[in-house]
Structure 1
Amino acid sequence: METVTTEIKKMVQPILDVHGFYLVDLEYVKEGPSWYLRLYIDKPGGIDIEECALVNQELSDKLDEQAPDLIPNAYFLEVSSPGAERPLKNEQDLKMALGQYIHVSLYQKQDKQKIFEGILLAYDSEHLHLQCKQKTKLREVVLERKNIAAMRLAIEF
């Protein structure tokens, strides 16, 4: 399965580069009886449905040209936006999230909590700095990256 995703990444990258898009995530999964090849793409300012359809068609054409088939079984190809609460998985994602409101889940509690939400102020290889609201006060929280289970953009209410 990893070989499929690795090869698809190589195949889709030139398509994305031509249009100024980037790959957020890619998964090849079986759900029930069906297989899905899902690509989540984005660009600065956000991606729209027509752009997702364009990448879908171009990648589909490239996949159809492969002999032998890269993916031997039937599958559904889905290309979409990562959404408003997209996951933050790598350094590029964090860079784009600077100054934005994010949600961070921890493996172990820090200050008696495992969930933090706030403005991403800064990050480095070992820490994340968030500006969080605690009742009516703003405070800076420093989280160790090795304790972070997941991060995503969040909508502030």
Structure 2
Amino acid sequence: MSTVVETVTELVTPILEEQNFELVEVEFLKEGKNWFLRVFIDKEGGIDIEECAFVSEHLSEKLDSIDPDPIPQAYFLEVSSPGAERPLKKEADYQRALGEYIHVSLYQPLDGEKQYEGFLQSYDDAELVLKIRIKTREKEITVDRKNIAKARLAIQF
């Protein structure tokens, strides 16, 4: 259903740009019997519920005005903040996350592990360097970016 994601991205971008909001991600997926269209937005200092409602209302109006309907099945529209564990997808996300505590899930194990949490030390197009803690010692690991299934900010406990 990538065409739905592309269509929604195209429709929501001008609404967000007008408000100086950032599009974090658009998802269209089926959970159980229901379809969900999720639009994650953010801005400097965080997004609030009224701003999410504003975007939801304007996006809904745009979607309703298109004929034929770009999403013919019934679905739930959710516009929200990405939350404290915001995904890292774009270069700007990684740039903002430098020095921050992040979680990385890998396609293939690295040193026997497929998940790591640590402080993002550096990154480039090919790899990123995490400072992780193993019991009482710290160690830097280098992760091939092609091996990253998902990356997000994490909350350190």
Cα shift at 1:100: 0.8
* Counterpart for residue 31 of structure 1: 31
Whichever residue aligns with residue 60 of structure 1, its letter is S
Q: 1:46 to 1:33 in 2, by over 3 A?
A: same
1:50 alignment partner in structure 2:
50
Q: Quick check: 32-41 or 121-130, which moved more?
A: 32-41
Aligned length: 157
Give the C-alpha shift of residue 125 in structure 1.
0.8
Alignment root-mean-square deviation, CA: 1.6
Query: 1:73 matched to which residue of 2?
Result: 73
Greater mean deviation of Cα atoms: 70-79 or 14-23 = 70-79
* Shift of residue 50, structure 1, vs aligned partner: 1.3
Q: Give a deviation string over 1:52-74, Cα, whole Å, max 9, x none.
A: 11110111111122222222222
Q: Rate the CA distance shift 1:70–1:114 in 2: closer, same or farther, 3 A.
A: closer
CA separation in 2, counterparts of 1:55 and 1:66? 17
Residue 95 of structure 1: aligned partner: 95
- Further displaced range: 15-24 or 85-94: 85-94
Q: Distance in 1 between matches of 2:111 and 2:71?
A: 47
Q: Which runs of 4+ in 1 moved over 4 A?
A: none
Q: How big is the shift at 1:31? A: 2.5
Write out aligned runs for 1:1-157 (5 A).
1-157=1-157
For 2:135 and 2:33, locate their aligned partners in 1 and report how far apart those are by CA, in whole Å: 48
* Cα distance in 1 for residues equivalent to 2:109 and 2:34: 38
Give how far 1:145 is off: 1.2
Identity %: 57
The amino acid that maps onto 2:113 is Q
Give me the whole-angstrom Cα distance separating, in 2, the residues matched to 1:112 and 1:3: 37
CA distance in 2, matches of 1:107, 1:28: 23
SS at match of 1:12: helix
- The residue type paired with residue 68 of structure 2 is P
Q: Which amino acid aligns with 2:141?
A: V
> What TM-score, normalized by structure 1, do the two folds share?
0.91
Secondary structure, aligned partner of 1:103: strand
Given residue 90 of structure 2, which amino acid in structure 1 is its aligned partner?
A: N
TM-score, normalising length: structure 2:
0.91
- How big is the shift at 1:79? 0.4
Partner-residue secondary structure (3-state), 1:23: strand
Q: Report SS of the residue matched to 1:13.
A: helix
